[in-house]
Every structure is written in C-alpha cells, then in structure tokens.
Structure 1
C-alpha cells in the first residue's frame, strides 16, 4: 500500500515548493532511496535539474533527466509525461494531477504551496489518494 505524505508549506515565496522538493530529494538520497520527480513539462523538468545543483551551497544530489544517457545510473530521476522504468521508491509529484503510475511507489510526496490554486488541486489529490486506499499523512511546515 502506498503511503502519501502531504507537505503544506507556509512560505509565500514563488520557488518554495521547488526548493522544498530539492531538500526532500536530498534527504531521501542520503537515506539511500531511489527517487523520481514528476514534473508538469520539459521546462519544469529542466528547472528542477538546474535547481538540484544550486539550491544549497555544498549540496550534492546526483540526478538526471529521464531521457538522458545518465538516467540508468542515477539514483534521482526527473521526468514528465511518461512512467519511469526501474525500481524507484519515492515519487515526488510536482504536477497538479495524480500520476497514473503512483501506486508502484512505496511513498509519494505531495508538496502544497500557499497559492490557492495549489491548495485546491492538493485537496483534489488528497481525496483521490484517500479514495484509492492510500495511507495519508499531512505535515505543516514553516518553509
């Protein structure tokens, strides 16, 4: 059964959700997990690719875009539009909708910013996961 963690951020900064996704990715990577970051589109995937290199000085999170040559060797993949291959444990969803393949992951992280559109979409995803029998947990964070 998939466990879904909803992270409710209090920050109004426009990049807060993406920066928190980087922090969460770094933590999961250090714990030895295989991670997939699902983005809305190619532009957001490339933005996350760049942000993972620069979000915090001294941080190192080896990652690759799903369609790159390095994807087979990377513990962190970033993609959009298609289901990733391989054994991955954590899905960090940055999309407004639930990915159809979410149930193949042990854990899913949903990051909800302060924007009302994000909150509304987050509530819809919460109901979807609840209706599909997932274990749900909510975390309110000062981030």
Structure 2
C-alpha cells in the first residue's frame, strides 16, 4: 500500500513548501527514485522548474516538465498520470492526486497558512477514509 506522509513546516512562508519539494526531489533523484512533483497549476510548475535549477548553488536537480519529457527521473506536472510507477509523489496541490495508488510514497507538504492547514486536515481525513494510514512528520 502507498505510504502517505504529511511533512509539516514550522512557518507560513509559501516559498518554504517549494524549497522543501526541491530538497525531497533532490534526495529521490540521488537515490534513483522516480519523482513526480504535482503542482496546483501551470504557473507553479514554471516557478518550480526555475527553482530546481537554482535552489542549490553547487548543483541542480535534472528534471523536466511533464509535457516535455514524462519519462524523466524528476517530472513536474499537474493532473497527469506518472510515466514511472512506484515512485515518489510530492504533492503541492491542495487536492489529492487521482493517481495515488501508482506511487509507493506520497508526501504532502504543509505549512502554517491557516487555509492550507484546513485543506490538509481534510485531505488527511480523506486518506484515512480511503484506507491509508497517513503519518505526520514535523520538520
């Protein structure tokens, strides 16, 4: 069964979620794990695309937008299904992915923005209702 984790950031800074997604994608890439970063919209995809090239001065994370190469090891997209099964889904969208079962692990990144906390609490409950056992991880 897919492992679900909610990574909870201590602040309400929106950019922190993007940086955390980049760090997680980098770790996945270094271990050869397929990573799909699911964004809320195309604008967030573009912002994350830029950030993955520059978030660390000493190296970048090779990646592609889903429309350019869905087979890349790190892919940025929205609602598309993953090309590689059993990888890592980093969900930055406020909704659950319709493809959750195609991943071995899903990480939801949460910060302290009140509206995001409310959405994520609802998502946590929905995962439970669907038979998953989501875990909370304080960062």
**When the two structures are superposed, what TM-score results if normalisation uses the length of structure 2?**
0.94
TM-fit CA distance, 1:13: 2.3
* 5+ residue gaps, structure 2: none
TM-fit CA distance, 1:88: 4.7
Aligned CA RMSD, in angstroms, stands at 1.3
Matched, 1:102 2:113: no
The number of equivalent residue pairs is 139
1:36, 1:88 within 8 Å by CA — same for their partners in 2?
no
TM-fit CA distance, 1:87: 2.9
Matched, 1:56 2:71: no
Matched, 1:120 2:118: yes
Counterparts of residues 1-143 of structure 1 (less than 5 Å): 1-68=1-68, 70-72=69-71, 74-141=72-139
Give the Cα separation in 1 of the matches to 2:26 and 2:125. 28
TM-fit CA distance, 1:84: 2.6
2:18, 2:48 within 8 Å by CA — same for their partners in 1?
yes
* 5+ residue gaps, structure 1: none
1:96, 1:118 within 8 Å by CA — same for their partners in 2?
yes
**When the two structures are superposed, what TM-score results if normalisation uses the length of structure 1?**
0.91
Give the Cα separation in 2 of the matches to 1:71 and 1:100. 17
Give the Cα separation in 1 of the matches to 2:109 and 2:98. 18
Q: Runs of at least 4 residues of structure 1 off by over 3 A?
A: none
The CA deviation string for residues 78-137 of structure 1, in whole angstroms up to 9 with x for no partner, is 001322323351000011010111111100000001100110111011011111111322
Give the Cα separation in 1 of the matches to 2:12 and 2:95. 21
